[in-house]
Amino acid sequence: METPVLKVTGINKSFSGHRVLKNINLTLAPGERLCLVGENGCGKSTLIKIISGVYKADSGQIELNGHAYTELLPTVSIKEGVQVIYQDFSVFPNLTVAENISLGTQLVEGKRLVNWKRIKKEAADALKEIGVEMDLEQEVRYLSVAQKQIVAISRAILQKARLIIMDEPTTALTQKEIERLYEIIYGLSEKGISVIFVSHKLDEVFTVCQRIAVIRNGNMIVDKRADEFEKERLVYYMTGQEIEEDSFSYEAEEEKTVLEAEHWTQEGSFEDISFHLGAGEILGITGQLGSGRTELAKALFGIGKIDTGTLKIHGEEKHLKNIRTAMENRIAYVPEDRLTEGLFMERSLTDNINAAVLDRKKKKNGWLDDAGMKAEAKERIRELSINASGPEVPAGTFSGGNQQRVVIARWLATNPEILILNGPSVGVDVKSKSEIHRILKELARNGLAVVLISDDIGELLSTTNRIIVMNSGRMVYENMTEQITADILNEKITQNIEKKGGAEDVENKDK
């Protein structure tokens, strides 16, 4: 019998008396592709850190390539061939591709002098092993997200990886880049390199992996072949609940158009964009990274100069010169990156939720109304089902799903008529994602006009009533969601633009 690359037996781990992992057992064969799934906070990250030697287990044993350890150091884990590729890839932006790939091995070997010829050859060989060509002299800061990921994978291969752990590797990739990553993972598997793939996206879980292991509340709930699962059952194993999403229905009312853009152009970002948005509607806007979708979302919130075109709100032409102007027109924006753009991580929920309405929370003497701010926070916590013991808990202590709801709560506190959300479910687990979708649908049913920017096809089809596809800064497709399938949407997102023009070039089967 072949020696497992990894064997985890009876692993337990607690933090401050809270048991995070409970008697975890897991075995991985050479070349096997395993998906590790579960909700945020279930213990996945803790298990990965124990396997990589960052955390010490309270009890249990880890075997790497047949060698048993009760206490594992990161250096030992690396020597046993364990490589973890985190979401930030841990690359050095000011170094070249070759330096990022090869210098690690020079340091591990204790080299005092740099052999540049060897560094370039090693980097080229590592890239060749996964079938990729790159400019070895290019500084990593200028690379795309997908290229940085390839650098991280090549570095892992050069360091004689036998097990590569990928944490949410497709979060910022286009569909074509995701498919290329799949090919690389399959290639690694064929070479005998095992992969643990961590993801919240269930479609890619079934695409990539041979086995799926589910952790819930620190327990290993199930571990079996991927072809033995059904998607609905996997969701149940992850959450302990049956989660079903109904499609969103919208019936337009006459004279209820809230926003209308006509031939909007921002040079270098998007051009000739025309669309309308009704009260109670959820409009999906999608496209690959670089399609102009994020720039359009920001422009609707007063970020970035519009060169030509008009924007009307309730039929009156408006010029959104800045964020303040957008807010005065009752527009709110939930940004793509909640960690760097959306939250004050060390501040309380009260501070975070009231951050956009502080001018309204002042007493006559100019002091902030602490009681009013707490009341606002409590109301939003209740409205959005934020799992918090109270409004004074710091935002940084919450899971991704709760953090996202805090950001949404902040902008709902401004009492908007138009809510723009950019990637609201990125890095959010299945249960929280479903809850966010429920909240958006309820807000729309109460008359809020919603723009949802997303590259999650399932999210778009289950949450919106109409979808616009952008490509290279232009609208290339628009249709009612009920007329669109996943295959059609994926085709429109990835298609190449062969003609150039204005609104007449947009495919719309149901205007």
pLDDT tens digits for range 145-172: 788 889 999 999 988 899 999 988 887 6
pLDDT of residue 510: 46
CB 207 within 8 A of CB 400: no
**Assigned domain for 244 exists:** no
- The residues pairing with 33 across neighbouring beta strands, listed in sequence order, are 195
pLDDT of residue 503: 39
Mean pLDDT of 412-436: 85
CB burial readout 131-161, b (16+ within 10 A) else e: ebebebeeebeebebbbbbbbbbbbbbbbeb
Does residue 242 carry a pLDDT above 80? no
Higher pLDDT, 256 or 110: 256
Does residue 308 carry a pLDDT above 90? yes
Does residue 505 carry a pLDDT above 50? no
**Assigned domain for 249 exists:** no
pLDDT of residue 326: 94
Map tokens 């070349």 to a residue. 31
Mean pLDDT of 463-473: 94
**Assigned domain for 111 exists:** yes
**364 in the same domain as 226:** no
pLDDT of residue 309: 95
Q: How does pLDDT run across 73-93, given as a tens digit for each residue?
A: 998 999 999 999 987 778 889
Q: Which domain holds residue 285?
A: 256-330+418-511
Nearest Cα to Cα of residue 353 among 376, 332, 337, 333: 376
Higher pLDDT, 85 or 346: 85
pLDDT of residue 511: 42
**151 in the same domain as 261:** no
Question: How much of the chain exceeds pLDDT 90, in percent?
Answer: 49
pLDDT of residue 495: 75
Does residue 143 carry a pLDDT above 80? yes
**Assigned domain for 251 exists:** no
pLDDT of residue 348: 86
**Assigned domain for 159 exists:** yes
**263 in the same domain as 114:** no
Higher pLDDT, 174 or 488: 488
Phi then psi dihedrals of residue 22, to 5 deg: -125, 100
For the chain, how big is the Rg over CA atoms in Å?
A: 25
- Total structural domains within the chain: 3
Does residue 245 carry a pLDDT above 70? no
**364 in the same domain as 318:** no
**227 in the same domain as 93:** yes
Last residue of a domain, one of 363, 380, 415: 415
Mean pLDDT of 207-221: 94
Average pLDDT across the chain, whole number: 86
pLDDT of residue 91: 87
**Assigned domain for 492 exists:** yes
Q: What sign does the CA torsion over 314, 319, 320, 322 have?
A: negative
| pLDDT class of 451 with cuts at 50, 70, 90 | very high
pLDDT of residue 130: 86
**425 in the same domain as 411:** no
CATH number at residue 227: 3.40.50.300
| pLDDT class of 385 with cuts at 50, 70, 90 | confident
| pLDDT class of 135 with cuts at 50, 70, 90 | very high
Question: Among the residues of 80-196, which ranges form H helices?
Answer: 97-108, 116-129, 145-158, 175-190
Cβ-Cβ contacts under 8 Å for 486 (sequence gap 6 or more): 457, 458, 461
pLDDT of residue 200: 80
Last residue of a domain, one of 239, 264, 280: 239
Ranges assigned E (strand) in 279-336: 282-286, 308-313, 316-318, 331-334
Mean pLDDT of 255-268: 91
Higher pLDDT, 414 or 270: 270
**347 in the same domain as 316:** no
pLDDT of residue 390: 77
Q: How does pLDDT run across 22-67, given as a tens digit for each residue?
A: 999 999 999 999 999 988 778 898 999 999 999 999 999 999 999 9
**387 in the same domain as 504:** no
Regarding pTM above 0.85, the answer is: no
Half-sphere exposure (Cβ direction) of 197: Cα atoms closer than 13 Å: 33
Does residue 196 carry a pLDDT above 60? yes
**287 in the same domain as 303:** yes
**Assigned domain for 57 exists:** yes
**Assigned domain for 433 exists:** yes
Q: Which CA distances in Å does 485 have to 40, 144, 376, 456, 505?
A: 29, 29, 41, 13, 21
Cβ-Cβ contacts under 8 Å for 131 (sequence gap 6 or more): 183, 184, 187
Mean pLDDT of 274-296: 92
**115 in the same domain as 213:** yes
Mean pLDDT of 297-318: 94
**126 in the same domain as 31:** yes
Does residue 345 carry a pLDDT above 80? no
| pLDDT class of 509 with cuts at 50, 70, 90 | very low
Instruction: Tell me which range, 17-26, 367-376, 488-497, is most confidently predicted by mean pLDDT.
Output: 17-26
| pLDDT class of 397 with cuts at 50, 70, 90 | confident
**324 in the same domain as 351:** no
Last residue of a domain, one of 239, 268, 301: 239
Round to whole Å and give the CA distance between 288 and 291: 5
Phi then psi dihedrals of residue 48, to 5 deg: -60, -40
